[in-house]
Amino acid sequence: MNQSTHETSAIAIRPLSKSDLDAVIALDRAITGRPRRGYFERRLASALRDPRGHLQLAASGARGLVGFALARVAPGEYGRAAPVVLLESIGVDPTMQHAGIGRRMVSSLSRDGRAIVTQADWRDHAMLRFLAGVGFALSPRLLLERRVSRMPLPSTDDAFERPIPPVRRLRADDLDMIVRIDEMSTGRVRRDYFERKFDETLHESPIAVSLVVEDDGFVVGFAMARVDLGDFGHVEPTASLDTIGIHRGLAGKGLASALLTQMIENLAALMVERLETEVAHDHYELLRFFHHFGFAPAQRLVFEASGAAPA
């Protein structure tokens, strides 16, 4: 066994700890060429506050930390019926790549049998080769995006029939109504999912943009998004709209348009450059709505791996 093989075999995959933060930031900068301290600080803080909802791994050996993987459990984002693991960021020391370290971390993330989902730019050939090698395949889900600007928003068929309804920021006491609205649309009670989303929104206000729309003083719709710089390799501030719902009896009244219009205005004020969302390839009604609202296919693709990665 040569020294390189021995060193690789001695690498341990373990949970990431708070003391790893500086090493992760330094390794990521060596890989990407840019510092992302704020991103990693927020992701670690989120994991410490909600350890059940995050899977953060370190690969370490004699020379210290040589790899990391940041993921979180997503029990219902983008309308998914089953929980998945979202792999947000992964990196391996450039001098130790192609030694199976990334494969081992991915395998550790999938040990409970949940599918793993991630995104990658179609032009990032190295990442695409890695994903293919550890068992990912192209997902049938579509990633859509639109630029965020103060320019007039495209008109939609979801036109306002009345004066523009009031839209405000999400509050803690909106939880019960949002759970009920979602149940009417999905047929599922997803209180655990929304409790986690509320926790994210209320405790990570700098990176969460979530709104509700009211009718006669009652919450009748919601849109939940988050903003971050760094997940899935983003190099510019990008918002992700992962949950939206309108009271079933008020569909087509312009409520969804009011929510997205206000959200885009808020994002523009925060200097966020893009808003993206993910839609099932056969959800034609939602695809049509986003198309009319100015969304188009992103330059990024969604990938999925079922169960454990290949050994």
Q: How many domains does the chain have?
A: 2
- 113 φ/ψ sector (left φ>0, alpha ψ -120 to 50, else beta): left
Q: Are residues 136 and 186 in the same domain?
A: no
Q: Give 311's pLDDT tier (boundaries 50, 70, 90).
A: very low
Neighbour-count burial of 185, counting CB atoms closer than 10 A to its CB (0-12 exposed, 13-18 middle, 19+ buried): middle
Whether residues 213 and 242 fall in one domain: yes
For 67-110, the pLDDT digits (tens) are 999 998 887 788 787 889 999 999 999 999 889 999 999 999 98
The DSSP 8-state label assigned to residue 10 in this structure reads T
176 shares its domain with 269 = yes
CA atoms within 13 A on the CB side of 129: 5
**94 and 203 both lie in a single domain:** no
Q: What is the DSSP letter of 6?
A: H
What type of residue is 234?
H
209, two tokens: 């943009």
**Range(s) of the domain holding residue 85:** 3-142+301-305
Q: Report the DSSP pairing between strands 84-92 and 64-74.
A: antiparallel
Q: What does the mean pLDDT of the chain come to?
A: 86
CATH number at residue 113: 3.40.630.30
Whether 310 is covered by a domain: the verdict is no
**247 confidence band (pLDDT: 50, 70, 90):** very high
Do residues 173 and 137 share a domain?
Answer: no
Question: Which of 115, 53, 119, 52 has the alpha carbon at shortest distance from 84?
Answer: 115
Looking at the domain assignment, is residue 129 inside a domain?
Answer: yes
DSSP string across 172-203: GGGHHHHHHHHHHHHSS--HHHHHHHHHHHHH
3-state secondary structure of 243: strand
Query: Model confidence over 222-244: pLDDT tens digits?
Result: 999 988 665 555 657 789 998 99
Q: Are residues 137 and 187 in the same domain?
A: no
Which range among 56-70, 92-106, 108-122, 147-161 shows the weakest confidence by mean pLDDT? 147-161
This prediction's pTM: 0.84
